[in-house]
């Protein structure tokens, strides 16, 4: 088979819609990523959390519906938005560094011993940054294909998992993180996503038809 035929291994499009020699675009891969927690807990070093991450869920956003009943039907508009919680599973290390950091963050939110809570959200909220990487390492600096920053984060729950004589798996800690807002940061050729500058038009018509 001629190598040139590999450029045809994708969905055929009209010649004016796509580069005919482009071929199929390379996908982002789930296992190439890193997660960074800023202002999490009180210890200065938080890199152990990044190294012990097992998986991380990307953000999900949804809009409330605004219904406008009219003559023979109903029109729909986008109302207030809400970011869903994200989840992160961590390996609990033998040195206790991960469980200590998680415990510190929980104590910032609520002092369980003294039964005293933080005075304001500013006192305990943290920022979470995660990046989808290109696979680089060592002498080849990794390039972030996608970068997200989650602002106003706090732990909704921390599940310390179970222990089991019949299992050879590592002990894990499952975190559920709530946050106030999220932005995609422009990186390299990936461009901007959520948070990008998009021009606004002014109109007084509900429907998209003149």
Closest CA to 85 of 160, 33, 35, 157: 157
Contact 61, 83 (CB under 8 A): yes
Q: Which residue matches tokens 């305990």?
A: 124
pLDDT reported for residue 2: 66
pLDDT reported for residue 84: 97
pLDDT reported for residue 19: 65
Instruction: Show Cβ contacts of residue 58 under 8 Å, excluding neighbours closer than 6 positions.
Output: 86, 130, 148
pLDDT reported for residue 157: 98
**Strands 172-178 and 86-91: what pairing?**
antiparallel
Q: What would the two tokens of residue 48 be?
A: 């152990």
Q: How far is CA 73 from the centre of its chain?
A: 37
- This prediction's pTM: 0.88
Q: Secondary structure of the chain in the HEC alphabet? A: CCHHHHHHCCCCCCCCCCCCCCCCCCCCCCCCEEEEEECCCCCCCCHHHHHCEEEECCCCEEEEEEEEECCCCEEEEEEEEEECCEEEEEECCCCCHHHHHHHHHHHHHEECCCCEECCCHHHCCEEEEEEEECCCCCCCCCCEEEEEEEEEEEEEEEECCCCCCCCCCCCEEEEEEECCEEEEECCHHHCCCCCCCCCCCCCCCCCCCC
Classify residue 205 as exposed, middle or buried by CB count within 10 Å of its CB (0-12, 13-18, 19+).
exposed
pLDDT reported for residue 72: 95
Q: pLDDT digit of tens for each residue in the chain (210 aa)? A: 566 777 777 787 776 666 666 678 889 999 999 999 999 999 888 899 999 999 999 999 999 999 999 999 999 999 999 999 999 999 999 999 999 999 999 999 999 999 999 999 999 999 999 999 999 999 999 999 999 999 999 999 999 999 999 999 999 999 999 999 999 987 665 557 887 778 888 888 888 775
**How many other C-beta atoms are found inside a 10 Å radius of the C-beta of residue 37?**
23
pLDDT reported for residue 3: 66
């Amino acid at each position: 088979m001629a190598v040139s035929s590999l450029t045809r291994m994708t969905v055929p499009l009209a010649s004016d819609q796509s580069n005919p020699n482009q071929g199929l675009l390379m996908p982002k891969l789930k296992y190439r990523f890193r997660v960074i927690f800023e202002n999490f807990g009180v210890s200065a070093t938080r890199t152990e959390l990044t190294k012990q991450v097992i998986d991380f869920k990307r953000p999900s956003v949804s809009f409330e519906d605004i219904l406008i009943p009219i003559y023979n039907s109903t029109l729909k508009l986008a109302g207030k938005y809400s970011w869903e919680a994200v989840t992160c599973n961590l390996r609990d290390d033998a040195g206790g560094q991960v469980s200590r950091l998680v415990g510190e963050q929980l104590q910032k939110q609520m002092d369980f011993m003294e039964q005293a809570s933080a005075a304001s959200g500013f006192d305990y909220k943290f920022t979470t940054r995660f990046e989808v990487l290109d696979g680089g390492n060592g002498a080849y600096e990794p390039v972030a294909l996608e970068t997200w920053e989650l602002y106003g984060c706090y732990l909704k729950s921390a599940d310390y998992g179970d222990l089991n004589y019949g299992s050879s798996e590592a002990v894990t800690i499952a975190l559920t993180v709530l946050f106030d807002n999220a932005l995609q940061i422009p990186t390299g050729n990936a461009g901007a996503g959520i948070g990008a500058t998009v021009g606004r038009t002014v109109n007084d018509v509900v429907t998209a038809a003149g």
